[in-house]
């Protein structure tokens, strides 16, 4: 096999094998395609739980032609039921050399003309002459490293298989094992402990006049600007363990469980707790300043929302942090999922009475900043038996 393009297709298939990619169409088989996916020289499917991915390869051609092929591929995949769950479609256009200037940029911007629920399209352009790739958009996906390596290498697939692909395979297997160990081995005990403390404090309030009673809240540590300025700075901490109603504590504790169980596993319990308490303190300071600026010095403020928003902020920054064992597509997906949560909650806070959005917003920003001080787990050392030994 001397055609550099066909050699690349084989290297790509070999390199993507560690992520579970199997051929739907192999080179030379598109004419006898039983699935009706003609127009592409190679199509691979990695049907992995949580991140199924289709990789479609074709020689670079005019953008309008590739657009038609991509649209037909999407229609056919939809008819076959591929889009009944979220799936990533990576369309790879390969340049042999000698193409007109600007073609790579135009091909990299191609996306399906129609919208399909669950489809996450990614366009890649590979230039075999220079060994470079152009990525359309910022979405990450499993196997990106393997495709990069396949583009940078040259020669027969056997050489690639025993060289770079073998190293990629070893790294991917090690990362998968470490990530599984991380998620299974870490239990969110701090999150559950925080919920228990908040509920216990709420029950104490109920037995001592009720949380609706402002005097009770003040007696147990609500944030009152005049009292804080008078020297009771400990109220900046106690405020995050007090709630004013059943609905208040119920909403906050459900939110804490949802985001806390994820964040604690990814950051580790000590760093998670540091981000939580630090964000709560920052939210308390923001509430204090808001009271001073609005000349509202005697109204008590309570709630864990600033601390919880801080955890959301720490999850928002995942895509910008480095980690050898937490896959980049996992980090990116979690970060993206936090955006609508933040927007919705800030909008609700803006239209709801007695909600201090300054504490929410500053807690969010504080948590995002603290996530770089107490960063994401970057590596995980395991004993031969798989026991976690050290986190960095």
User: Which residues are annotated as catalytic?
Assistant: 305, 360
Cβ atoms of 338 and 364 within 8 Å: the answer is no
Distances in Å between the Cα of 155 and the Cα atoms of 74, 128, 150, 220, 353 are 32, 11, 10, 73, 67
Residue carrying structure tokens 């604690």: 264
Neighbours of 12 (CB within 10 A): 27
Cβ atoms of 122 and 88 within 8 Å: the answer is yes
Question: What tokens does 17 get?
Answer: 């094998």
Cβ atoms of 249 and 243 within 8 Å: the answer is yes
Cβ atoms of 89 and 40 within 8 Å: the answer is no
CA distance 240 to 170: 45
∠ Cα 340 293 252 (to 5°): 35
CA distance 380 to 269: 15
Distant-in-sequence, close-in-space partners of 314: CB < 8 Å, separation ≥ 6: 263, 267, 275, 279, 367, 368, 370, 371
Distant-in-sequence, close-in-space partners of 304: CB < 8 Å, separation ≥ 6: 194, 198, 240, 241, 243, 252, 256, 280
Evaluated on CA atoms 230, 231, 237, 238, the torsion sign reads: negative
**Can you spell out the DSSP letters for 294-311?**
TT--S--B--SHHHHHHH
């Amino acid at each position: 096999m001397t055609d550099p393009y066909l050699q690349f297709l084989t290297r790509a298939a070999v390199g993507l094998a560690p992520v579970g990619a199997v051929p739907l169409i192999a080179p030379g088989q598109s004419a006898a395609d039983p699935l009706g996916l003609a127009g592409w020289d190679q199509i691979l499917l990695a049907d992995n739980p949580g991140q199924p991915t289709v990789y479609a390869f074709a020689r670079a051609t005019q953008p309008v032609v590739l657009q038609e092929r991509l649209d037909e591929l999407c229609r056919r995949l939809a008819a076959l039921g591929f889009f009944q769950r979220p799936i990533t479609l990576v369309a790879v256009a390969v340049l042999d050399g000698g193409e007109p200037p600007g073609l790579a940029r135009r091909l990299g911007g191609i996306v399906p003309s129609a919208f399909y629920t669950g489809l996450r399209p990614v366009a890649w352009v590979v230039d075999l002459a220079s060994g470079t790739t152009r990525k359309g958009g910022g979405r990450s996906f499993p196997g990106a490293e393997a495709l990069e390596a396949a583009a940078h290498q040259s020669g027969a697939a056997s050489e690639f298989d025993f060289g770079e692909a073998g190293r990629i395979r070893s790294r991917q297997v090690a990362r998968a094992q470490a990530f599984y160990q991380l998620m299974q081995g870490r239990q969110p005990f701090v999150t559950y402990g925080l919920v228990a403390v908040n509920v216990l404090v709420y029950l104490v309030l109920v037995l001592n006049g009720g949380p609706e009673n402002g005097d009770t809240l003040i007696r147990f540590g609500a944030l009152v600007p005049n009292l804080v300025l008078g020297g009771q700075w400990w109220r900046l901490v106690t405020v995050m363990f007090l709630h004013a109603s059943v609905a208040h504590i119920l909403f906050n504790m459900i939110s804490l469980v949802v985001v806390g169980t994820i964040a604690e596993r990814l950051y580790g319990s000590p760093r998670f707790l540091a981000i939580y308490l630090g964000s709560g303190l920052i939210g308390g300071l923001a509430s204090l300043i808001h009271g001073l600026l609005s000349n509202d010095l005697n109204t008590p403020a309570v709630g864990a929302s600033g601390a919880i928003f801080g955890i959301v902020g720490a999850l928002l920054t995942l895509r910008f942090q480095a980690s050898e064992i937490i896959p980049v597509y996992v980090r990116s997906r979690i970060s993206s999922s936090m955006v609508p949560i933040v927007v919705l909650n800030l909008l609700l806070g803006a239209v709801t009475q007695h909600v201090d959005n300054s504490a929410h917003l500053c807690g969010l920003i504080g948590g995002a900043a603290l996530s770089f001080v107490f960063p994401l787990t970057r590596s995980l050392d395991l004993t031969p038996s798989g026991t976690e030994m050290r986190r960095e």
